[in-house]
Structure 1
Amino acid sequence: MNIFKRLLKIGQAEIHALVERMEDPISLSEQGIRDMKKQLSDTVESAAKVRATIIRTESRVRDKEQEANTLAEKAKRALAKAQAGELTATEGEKMASEALLTKKRLVEDTQELQAELLEQTSKLQEVHKHIDVLKYNIAKWEKELTTLRAKQKVNEAASLANQQMANMDSNSTLDMLQRVKRKVANDEALAEAYAEMAQNKSELPDEQQAIQDELTALKKQMGIK
């Protein structure tokens, strides 16, 4: 298992552990997204460094291949000069052999660099896969976070409405309504009492006058002045 797969497994384990002891899903999701974005930034930086190494290695391969070709041409020229009489056969072959030996070493160095290049390219591909996974997860969890925030707003509104309904049905509200009802009844009874008292007052002078008339008649009958 390569290093990036191990990192991803560790990240997944940490996320599952957080979910199991989750207290605030939104805060934890926000923190998880921040962590993934930091990891993405670090991984992109790593990818750039690996790519820079590849570019340098490719340049070295080209330089050595060009130098090897130059040495091959040098060996040909040495043999050609020996054949033309410009050099002795021994000198020509010696110069050609030296050029070919150096060329052989350059070819070997080039092969080693090409092997390194393959390894670096493979590593860069793994880094890019990790980057793609991080980008996918970030986009996914940002979408989930938007959904969580929307759900939280709905839940808060529903909770407030339920709380208000619960308060309306609570004993304190019913007691208040009962008190209002009793006060209205008391006010009505008090108003009725005042009305009766007012009526009795209006009837009192007529009753006294009738008694006074009866008393006067009785006194007259008895000859009392």
Structure 2
Amino acid sequence: MGIFSRLFTVGKAETNAAIDKLEDPIKMTEQGIRDLKKDLDKSLQALAEVKAMAIRSKRQLNESKSSAQTYEQKAMMLLQKAEKGELDANEADRLATEALSRKEDATSDANRAQEEVNRFDNNIAQLDNNVKKLKSTINRYENELKTLKARSRVSSASAKINKQLSGIDSSSTVGMLEKMKEKVDQQEAMAEAYGDIASESRSIDDEIDSVLGEKSVSASSSLEALKEKMKKK
């Protein structure tokens, strides 16, 4: 393999190792949860803003409805004054017409406000649904992360144990025991050989003393035997 091929292989291996580190499932899950929480914060902020606009629209709706009713009542009161002779009929008609025109403007404002309220209510419902989904998703991911971390600790511990066990070469261990047994056998044989050599190197006196000792001949009995022999002469 050429030098460039070897460098390419090493570089590829380092790149794969870097990718493996980047693809740590725990870190990826934690980052995913952080991103979801950011999305949740944005959704909550948007929900609060839409609710605030809905509140203003409802307030405008109520004010416009109240204003329309007020202008209608004023127009009726003007006409009643004209009927009682308290106000010129033409003037009453003119003022009542203006009041009714204001009523129509207020009614138009109320209708627009009602449309805005309806639109905001729909937006609120959608945003609220999204917020609930995000909260549920975050809660599910956090629970899965706890399980993933627990599984990671167990698998890491198992990997360490398996690595230690895999490092134990049973064949080499048996070989070492056999060599030790052979060495002990050799040492025992050598001891026995030296014993045999020691026995062969004993003098004749050592052999006599050994035999006499085994026969249990006492010094007193040997002396008596010698005296008897002397008498016979």
Length, aligned pairs only: 188
Q: Is the 8 A contact 1:167 1:173 kept in 2?
A: no
The alpha-carbon distance between structure 1 residues 139 and 208, as it changes in their structure 2 partners (threshold 3 A), is closer
Query: Partner of 1:117 in structure 2?
Result: 117
C-alpha deviation, 1:99, in angstroms:
0.5
Query: Partner of 1:223 in structure 2?
Result: none
Query: Partner of 2:7 in structure 1?
Result: none
Structure 2 residues without counterparts, runs of 5 or longer: 1-21, 209-233
The alpha-carbon distance between structure 1 residues 186 and 53, as it changes in their structure 2 partners (threshold 3 A), is farther
- Map Cα deviations across residues 114-148 of structure 1 (whole Å, 9 max, x no partner): 11111111111111111111112112211221221
Partner of residue 205 from structure 1, selected from 178, 194, 203: 203
The alpha-carbon distance between structure 1 residues 152 and 53, as it changes in their structure 2 partners (threshold 3 A), is same
- Map Cα deviations across residues 18-69 of structure 1 (whole Å, 9 max, x no partner): xxxx832111111111111111111111101110110111111111111111
The alpha-carbon distance between structure 1 residues 171 and 88, as it changes in their structure 2 partners (threshold 3 A), is same
Matching residue's letter, 1:126:
Q
Q: Which one is further off, 178-187 or 154-163?
A: 178-187
State TM-score, norm by structure 2: 0.71
CA distance in 2, matches of 1:58, 1:187: 106
CA distance in 2, matches of 1:116, 1:161: 66
Query: Partner of 1:38 in structure 2?
Result: 38
Query: Partner of 1:68 in structure 2?
Result: 68
Query: Partner of 1:96 in structure 2?
Result: 96
Q: Partner of 2:167: helix, strand, or coil?
A: helix
Alignment of 1:154 with 2:146, yes or no, is: no
Q: Partner of 2:23: helix, strand, or coil?
A: coil
The alpha-carbon distance between structure 1 residues 120 and 157, as it changes in their structure 2 partners (threshold 3 A), is same
Query: Partner of 2:9 in structure 1?
Result: none
Query: Partner of 1:135 in structure 2?
Result: 135
The alpha-carbon distance between structure 1 residues 200 and 97, as it changes in their structure 2 partners (threshold 3 A), is farther
Matching residue's letter, 1:163:
K
Q: Which one is further off, 170-179 or 31-40?
A: 170-179
Question: Of the two, which has the highest radius of gyration?
Answer: 2
Matching residue's letter, 1:139:
N
**What is the percent sequence identity of the aligned residues?**
36
CA distance in 2, matches of 1:83, 1:126: 55
Query: Partner of 1:6 in structure 2?
Result: none
- Map Cα deviations across residues 100-125 of structure 1 (whole Å, 9 max, x no partner): 10110110111011111111111111
C-alpha deviation, 1:193, in angstroms:
4.6
CA distance in 1, matches of 2:207, 2:82: 172
Q: Partner of 2:87: helix, strand, or coil?
A: coil
State TM-score, norm by structure 1: 0.73
C-alpha deviation, 1:200, in angstroms:
5.1
The alpha-carbon distance between structure 1 residues 166 and 110, as it changes in their structure 2 partners (threshold 3 A), is same
The alpha-carbon distance between structure 1 residues 177 and 26, as it changes in their structure 2 partners (threshold 3 A), is farther
- Map Cα deviations across residues 161-215 of structure 1 (whole Å, 9 max, x no partner): 22222222355544544444344344434544554455556xx2336888xxxxx
Structure 1 residues without counterparts, runs of 5 or longer: 1-21, 211-225
Matching residue's letter, 2:86:
E
The alpha-carbon distance between structure 1 residues 153 and 197, as it changes in their structure 2 partners (threshold 3 A), is farther
The alpha-carbon distance between structure 1 residues 82 and 191, as it changes in their structure 2 partners (threshold 3 A), is farther
